Structure 1
Amino acid sequence: MPRETHQWTLLIAGWFIALVATLGALFIGEVMGQMPCTLCWYQRIAMFPLVVILGVGAFRGDMDTWRYALPLSSVGLVIAAYHFLQYAGLLPAPIVPCSASGPSCSGAGMLIMGIPIPYLSTAAFAGITLLLLPLARKQS
C-alpha cells in the first residue's frame, strides 16, 4: 500500500471513530433524553470538532491534519481516562461529576451494548489518538 494511501486510511478511520462517537453522544442526549455529566460535556467539546477536522483533512488529503486533531484527541483522552478511573472507582474524586443532584452517567440506562459510556469514550479517544500518532511520526 502506498504511503499516502496508508496515511489517508488512518485519517478516515479516525474520522469514522469520531463520527460514531458524536452520533452516539447525540443519540443519548437527543433521542434518549439523557443529559451529560460535566466530564461528558468536556469530552463532547473535544470530540465534536474532530468529526469536522478529520473529515475535511481526509477529503482534502491533508496529511498535516494531525497537527490540529492530535492535541484535541489527546486532551479528550486525558479527560476520558480521568472519567474512566472515577467511574471504575480507582480514583477518588474530590469533585463528583456524576452525582444524584445533577446529570449522571453512572445509571443502568447509561450503557451502550452493556458498556458504560466513560469506557466507550476512553476507547474512542484512544483509538483516534493511536491512529494519528503514526502521521505525526512520519512528518516530524
Structure 2
Amino acid sequence: MGTDQFSVLFALLAFMALAVGVVSLAIVTFGKAEKLRPIADVVLPLAFVIALTSTLGSLYYSGIANYRPCRLCWWQRIMMYPMVPVLGIATFRKDVMGAWYALPLALGGVGYGLYHTQLRWWPAEDGGSCDVDAPCSAVWVNTWGFVSIPFMATCGFIAITGLLAVRLKLNRSLGSTAS
C-alpha cells in the first residue's frame, strides 16, 4: 500500500473520529448522563485507540513517507503523543482520572489543529510561525481536495475531547469520587 492509499485510509478514519467527537459532544451537551452508562467502559479505550492511531499515522508520514513536520505539526505531536501512555494506562487500570490528565492535551491539540488547518486553507495568514524549509502551509496530503494532515489531527483531537467529556460527565452523574 502506497502513501496515497494510506492517506485515503487515514482520511476515512479521521471522518469516523470526527463523527465520534461531534456525537460525543452533542450527547454531553444535550443528553442525559443515565443514557451514557452502557458506553462507560468503552470511552477511555476508544480515546486511547484514536490517540494511538493518530500517533502511528504521524510517525508513518514523517518516518516512512519522509514528510518533514513543520513547527505547528510538532506542537500537535507534543499534544497527541503523551496521550497514548496516559490513556493506555488509564484504560488498563480502569482509572477514570485519566480523562482529567488527557483533556488539557486534547483541548490544546484542538486549538493548534484548528489554527494549522486554517493556515493550510489560507496560507497568506501565516505570520511567520514556521520556517522556510518546513512551512506550516505546505500541502503534503490533499485527499479529496481538502483533507490534510492538520485536518486529520484536528479530527482526532475533537474525538478524544468529546470522549473525555463523556467520561467526565459520567463521573459526575455516577457520583464517582474520581471526578
| TM-score category, normalised to shorter length | 0.7 to 0.9
Name the structure 2 match of 1:67: 100
Aligned-pair identity in percent equals: 32
List 4+ stretches of structure 1 deviating above 3 A.
104-108
Residue 12 of structure 2 is matched in structure 1 by none
Q: Quick one: distance in 2 between partners of 1:70 and 1:2?
A: 19
Matching residue within 139, 159, 162 for 1:127: 159
Partners of 2:51 and 2:80 within 8 A in 1:
yes
Could you say what the CA RMSD is over the residues aligned between the two structures, in angstroms?
Answer: 2.2
Inter-partner Cα distance in structure 2 for 1:91 and 1:75: 23
Bigger RCO of structures 1 and 2 (CA < 8 A, at least 6 apart): 2
Alignment of 1:1-140 (within 5 A): 3=37, 6-89=39-122, 92-97=125-130, 101-104=132-135, 106-107=137-138, 110-111=140-141, 113-114=143-144, 115-140=147-172
Equivalent residues, number = 136
TM-score when scaled to structure 2? 0.68
CA distance in 1, matches of 2:93, 2:101: 14
- Rounded to whole Å, the distance in 2 between the matches of 1:53 and 1:91 is 37
TM-score, with length taken from structure 1: 0.86
Answer with 1 or 2: which has the greater Rg.
2
Cα offset for 1:136?
1.6
Describe the superposition over 1:34-90 as per-residue Cα deviations: whole angstroms up to 9, x where unpaired.
Answer: 220000000000100111111110111111111101111101111111111111118
Which blocks of at least 5 consecutive residues in structure 2 are unaligned? 1-34, 173-179
- Write the distance in 1 (CA, Å) between the matches of 2:39 and 2:56: 26
Using the alignment, how far apart are the partners of 2:42 and 2:60 within structure 1?
Answer: 27
